[in-house]
Structure 1
Amino acid sequence: MTTRDGPGTMTTRQEPLWRPALLGEPPRDGRVRCVLCPFRCDLAEGRTGVCQVRRNRGGVLETATFTAAAVHLDAVERKPLYHVRPGSRILTIAGPGCTFRCDYCVNYRLSQYGREDGSPWLGAPAEVSELVARAAREGAALGLSYSEPGLAPELTLALAEEAAPLGVPIVWKSNGFLTRRAIRLVAPALLAVNIDVKAADETAHLKLTGAPLRPVLEAVELFREAGVWVEVSTPLIPGVSDSTDQLGVIAQRLAAVDPGLPWHLLRFTPDFRMADRTPTPPSALRAGRDVGREAGLHFVYVERALGEDGRTTTCPACGGVLVRRGLWETLANEVVSGECPGCAHPVPGCWGTDDD
Structure 2
Amino acid sequence: MSCKEFYKKEPYGVALIISPWNYPFLLCIEALVGAIAAGNCAILKVAEDSPNTSSVISKMIEEFFPPEYIAVVNGDKEVATELLEQKMDYIFFTGGVTVGKIVMEKAAKNLIPVTLELGGKSPCIVEESANLKLAAKRIVFGKYLNSGQTCVAPDYLLIQENIKDEFEKYLKEYITLFYTNEPLKNEDYTKIVNERHFNRLVNLIKGEKIIYGGDIDRELLKIEPTILDKITLDSPIMQEEIFGPILPIMTFNNIKEAKEIVLKGEKPLSLYLFTTNKKIEKEILKDLSYGSGCINDTIIQLATSKMPFGGVGNSGMGSYHGKYSFDTFSHEKSIVKKYNWIDLPIRYMPYNDLKLKLLKMFLK
Q: TM-score, normalised by structure 2?
A: 0.30
Q: TM-score, normalised by structure 1?
A: 0.31
Higher-helix-fraction structure? 2
Q: Which has the higher contact order (CA 8 A, sep 6+)?
A: 2
